[in-house]
């Protein structure tokens, strides 16, 4: 994979020019894209800035984010060839930092469940996950050092685990969603895919103007970790649970304080209402597409929107109230057990075989609803070579702590 920090180190040292770094990404795309199929479109003669903290870095942009230089097609024939006039806010910020939004990456239609044609570069024949399929696969294949995704249920954390890359879903609202096709305004969150945790930290610090999010040379100490395996959804698969046990053993050996914890009942209630909130808002966000192009929607999305028409405002309001109560109790849960972070699965197991499904988001939906920062850390593979990941979760707004703990896990598992 291409490390963002490694490329920038070479550029700063003068051993690599920004133009040569972009050319390297272009060559990798030429070599791998015919098989991986992670991209919808890309620039053929990009303007490469010579200056800027991200100069020389090629970025993949999930195709529900507006780009002025490339079409934004939402993974749907409804928007074939559609060209926005302006960049999404996050794309504009990347350009100001010197990065080159080189390609639009595949997304399931409107970032829902109908699969793309993207292949998992780590294990062909298995899904790369979704909805941010192309972004995860492009980074995993070594075509791009940074790619943008979005998460409404589990669309950053899960595909990152399936493809063996780092995926970060920051705190809700930390990255602006202006210029992004909305599915659920209460849940939609922008995220990043990179080769390593330090790469994600550096990119997020620059993109948000918050240098404190970057990893520092100072030793942050060993984290206090609560292991949570929710009892209100189906358990994880044996290979994923074995990986979590290996991670636990490694970080305990390194001095981390780790304990098993059970979430209070309000979180089970909130988990069960994620769909009510998502569906009520999706029915409104996609009202024009549903009313005028229903036949052109993917079969899974079409059926889902059919059912979503029945969600009433009273049910939606009640679900929001429960979610708000859970969000307010989560800091107390961290404080009661003196936790820095929660550790859990990124996905129920390795990437499922075939391409009919993008996988199950049951280990992601609650945390998306809580708005908290989450990081997938790759932690090896199954005997068959399928990547596995674990998920590190911190309090709302405590993205720096999530990053530090994820780096701690990554370092111990690499060692």
Q: Which residues form the catalytic set?
A: 62, 131, 155
Q: How far apart are CA 269 and CA 142, in angstroms?
A: 40
Question: Is the distance from CB of 284 to CB of 313 less than 8 angstroms?
Answer: no
Q: How far apart are CA 363 and CA 360, in angstroms?
A: 8
Nearest CA to 32 out of 116, 126, 143 is that of 143
208, with CB counted inside 10 A (0-12, 13-18, 19+), is middle
Q: How far apart are CA 131 and CA 224, in angstroms?
A: 32
Residue 19: both structure tokens together: 């133009």
Cα distance between the two ends of the chain: 18
Q: How far apart are CA 134 and CA 63, in angstroms?
A: 9
Q: Is 399 helix (H, G, I), strand (E, B) or coil?
A: helix
Give every CB contact of residue 12 below 8 A, 6+ residues apart in sequence. Answer: none
91: preceding bond cis by omega (within 30 degrees): no
Q: What is the DSSP string of 306-356?
A: HHHTT--HHHHHHHHHHHHHHHHHHHHHHHHTT-SEEEEESSSSSPPBBSS
Answer left, alpha or beta for residue 121, where phi above 0 means left and psi between -120 and 50 means alpha. Answer: alpha
SS3 readout for 251-280: HHHCCCEEEEECCCHHHHHHHHHHHHHHHH
State how beta strands 166-169 and 189-194 pair: antiparallel
How far, CA to CA in Å, does 183 sit from each of 193, 274, 289, 395?
21, 13, 12, 24
């Amino acid at each position: 994979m291409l490390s963002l920090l490694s490329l920038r180190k070479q550029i700063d040292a003068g051993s690599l020019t920004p133009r040569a770094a972009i050319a390297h990404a272009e060559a990798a795309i030429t070599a791998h894209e015919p098989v991986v199929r992670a991209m919808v479109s890309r620039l053929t003669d990009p303007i490469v800035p010579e200056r800027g903290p991200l100069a020389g870095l090629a970025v993949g942009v999930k195709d529900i984010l507006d780009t002025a230089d490339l079409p934004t097609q939402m993974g749907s024939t409804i928007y074939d060839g559609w060209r926005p006039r302006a960049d999404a806010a996050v794309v504009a910020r990347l350009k100001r930092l010197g990065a080159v939004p080189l390609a639009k990456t595949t997304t399931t239609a409107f970032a829902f469940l109908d699969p793309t044609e993207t292949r998992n570069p780590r294990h062909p024949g298995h899904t790369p996950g979704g909805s941010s399929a192309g972004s995860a696969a492009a980074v995993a294949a070594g075509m791009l050092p940074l790619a943008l995704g979005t998460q409404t249920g589990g669309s950053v954390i899960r595909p990152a685990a399936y493809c063996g890359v780092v995926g970060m879903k920051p705190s809700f609202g930390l990255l602006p969603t202006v210029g992004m096709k909305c599915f659920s305004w209460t849940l939609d969150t922008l995220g990043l895919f990179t080769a390593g945790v330090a790469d994600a930290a550096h990119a997020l610090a620059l993109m948000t103007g918050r240098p404190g999010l970057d990893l520092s040379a100072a030793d942050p100490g060993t984290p206090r970790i609560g292991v949570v395996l929710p009892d209100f959804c189906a358990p994880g698969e044996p290979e994923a649970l074995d990986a979590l046990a290996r991670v636990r053993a490694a970080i305990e050996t390194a001095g981390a304080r780790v304990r098993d914890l059970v979430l209070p009942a309000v979180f089970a209630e909130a988990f069960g209402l994620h769909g009510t909130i998502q569906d009520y808002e999706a029915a409104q966000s996609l009202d024009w597409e549903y009313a005028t192009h229903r036949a052109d929607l993917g079969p899974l999305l079409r059926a889902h929107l059919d059912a979503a028409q029945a969600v009433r405002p009273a049910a939606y309001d009640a679900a929001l109230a429960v979610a708000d109560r859970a969000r307010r109790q989560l800091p107390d849960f961290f404080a009661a057990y003196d936790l820095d972070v929660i550790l859990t699965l990124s996905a129920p197991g390795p990437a499922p075989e075939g391409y009919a499904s993008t996988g199950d988001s049951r280990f992601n939906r609650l945390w998306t609803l809580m708005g908290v920062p989450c990081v997938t850390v790759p932690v090896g593979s199954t005997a068959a070579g399928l990547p596995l990941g674990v998920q590190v979760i911190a309090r709302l707004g405590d993205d720096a702590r999530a990053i530090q703990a994820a780096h701690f896990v990554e370092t111990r598992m690499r060692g």
